[in-house]
A and B are shown apart, each in its own frame.
Chain A
Amino acid sequence: MTVNGPTIAFLILASLILSAAVYIVTTRNIMHAVFVHLLALSSVSGIYILLYAQFIAAMQVLIYAGAVTTMVLFALMLVKPKAGMEIALDNQQKGMAFATAGVFLSVLLVVLVPKVWATSQEKLTPLTVAKFGKILFTKYVLPFEMISVLLLVALIGVLVLASKEEE
């Protein structure tokens, strides 16, 4: 157990995220779930900063705070159920779900906790965004283009799905 600044910061962030996640999967108020979800995901960007991946952290905030949360909120406003917004958020298989997730987690923990990883001994240094860009547009240029095609397809698909059918 090492006690230093980053570790304490990590533990605080991790407990914040995990309690936020528990809140999301148990709350009965769907709007609160969305806002707490934003809290959890922006704290994940704090974890990325602790890993010296600032670019990923900024992307996380931009995508999740800027795009995903706002999209979910817009969708929620479009589909506000008439009555009983706060009932029937859970189904009857809560116990089964808890057991499955619990077993899954315990198996993971049994495997992972004693594991010693072959980590590199170097000190972490911040990644420059220039290095990132170079690799992204040389070695990974094909996946990058595929992602842009995927986003385009998603965009068209969403337009087709969400536009009202005209007779």
Chain B
Amino acid sequence: MGLLIGIGLALLVIVLVLTHIIVFIWCELKIFAHIMDRYGPIETGKFHGVLQPFADVLKLMNKEDTVPGASDRLIFKVAPFVVFVPAFMAIGAIPLSATLVVINLDIGAFYIIALSAFTFVGMIMAGWSSFNKYSLLGAFRAAGQLLSYELPFGLTIAGVAMMASSLNLITIVNKQVVPNAFIQPIGFLVFVIAAEAELSRSPFDIPHAESEIIAGYHIEYSGMRWALFYLAEYVSLIILCSMTALLFLGGFKGPILPPPVWFLLKVYVLFFILAWIRITFPRVRPDQLMDLGWKVLLPASLLNIVLTASIIILLPDIWPVALAVTEFTIVIATLIYLGRTRR
């Protein structure tokens, strides 16, 4: 009986996530198009091309699943699943409300970071087994980028966990009277930038920069195996938007509307902002990317942890206010300094 309920829940989650992905893909096409002053898909399905994602899925399912003759066939075939399955496993730990969650883990936030570690290996497997120099380059660019951004990403989560004294996502949300983004602006900024880099979307799309290395680690993939990489990318997008909403924006809390609606609203707004960033910023160079990761974001996230810890210990009564004031002062001072020096 328990097993049946588990399988049912898993199927429900998969269906929900896949529907979201299909809607997201269509929305993204439309957002990109309108930001670039185009129409985007308009023909398929009469109304503004709403059936475009379905047409894409049908096209991908009909495509031949090619495997390069010189490739390492076994690893080549397994790689998409190594990227895709952990991404889907992480979804289960995300709560839609205080009660609506598939697995309420004690270590929820940590579980999600741990699973994201499989992504690098999956990418290297795909890139290496293709036996194509561009895919190998792309794979190692991806692994280097993801490894360097995993550190600030994890450390900002540590900052949030300190304030809630828990890693459970529901507890973290319940302890937020004011959204954490207003208490830890440094942590919030670092988290969003690192999340964008983890997703390797522009401006951080170096691992699959089409103009430099064709398409990175998934050049040789086609059909459904390529679709798995594509889906995994969107699943991670959903996970990172939800994580940002839960950790920094008060998650499912909000007045009047029921909690799941608030949560999904925040996720959609974040999704829109990420799409906006993706289409408006040019790609950074690999050395700029590494500089940003190791010389800016990592020290900033460490500073965030040190500030949080010391203010919680030194001023146990008024720490949220003190922390917010300190962090906002630092952010504004940095912005003023940058504004003066960049002129």
Direct contact of A and B (CB under 8 A): yes
Using Cβ atoms and an 8 Å threshold, which residues of chain B touch A66?
Answer: 114, 117, 120, 147, 150
- Evaluate contact between A35 and B166: CB separation under 8 angstroms: no
**B118 interface hit (Cβ, 8 Å):** yes
Using Cβ atoms and an 8 Å threshold, which residues of chain A touch B128?
Answer: 31, 73
- Evaluate contact between A130 and B166: CB separation under 8 angstroms: yes
Using Cβ atoms and an 8 Å threshold, which residues of chain B touch A126?
Answer: 106
- Evaluate contact between B115 and A61: CB separation under 8 angstroms: yes
Number of interface residues of B (CB under 8 A): 26
- Evaluate contact between B114 and A59: CB separation under 8 angstroms: yes
- Evaluate contact between A128 and B106: CB separation under 8 angstroms: yes
- Evaluate contact between A73 and B124: CB separation under 8 angstroms: yes
Using Cβ atoms and an 8 Å threshold, which residues of chain A touch B114?
Answer: 58-59, 61-62, 65-66
Instruction: Determine chain A's interface SS by DSSP, over half rule.
Output: helix
- Evaluate contact between B105 and A54: CB separation under 8 angstroms: yes
**B113 interface hit (Cβ, 8 Å):** yes
- B 76-112 binary contact with A (CB < 8 Å = 1; else 0): 0000000000000000000000000000011100110
- Evaluate contact between A74 and B143: CB separation under 8 angstroms: yes
**A87 interface hit (Cβ, 8 Å):** no
How close is B172's CB to chain A, nearest CB, in angstroms? 13
- A 94-131 binary contact with B (CB < 8 Å = 1; else 0): 00000000000000000000000000000000101110
- A 57-82 binary contact with B (CB < 8 Å = 1; else 0): 01101100111011001100100000
**A20 interface hit (Cβ, 8 Å):** no
How close is B243's CB to chain A, nearest CB, in angstroms? 15
Contact residues, A13-57 vs B (CB, 8 A): 31-32, 35, 38, 42, 54-55
How close is B86's CB to chain A, nearest CB, in angstroms? 9
Contact residues, B97-154 vs A (CB, 8 A): 105-107, 110-111, 113-115, 117-118, 120-121, 124-125, 128, 136, 140, 143, 147, 150
Using Cβ atoms and an 8 Å threshold, which residues of chain A touch B124?
Answer: 70, 73
Give complex CA distance A61, B165 in Å.
Answer: 23
Select B121's contact among A59, A69, A128, A130, beta carbons within 8 Å. A69
The 4 A-B pairs at the shortest CB distance, nearest first, are namely: A66-B117, A58-B114, A62-B114, A65-B117
User: Would you give 30 A-B contacts (Cβ < 8 Å), ordered by A?
Assistant: A31-B128, A32-B72, A32-B74, A32-B75, A35-B125, A38-B121, A54-B106, A55-B110, A58-B107, A58-B110, A58-B111, A58-B114, A61-B115, A61-B117, A61-B118, A62-B113, A62-B114, A62-B117, A65-B114, A65-B117, A65-B120, A65-B121, A66-B150, A70-B124, A70-B143, A73-B143, A74-B143, A129-B110, A129-B167, A130-B165
B residues lining the A interface (CB < 8 Å): 72, 74-75, 105-107, 110-111, 113-115, 117-118, 120-121, 124-125, 128, 136, 140, 143, 147, 150, 165-167
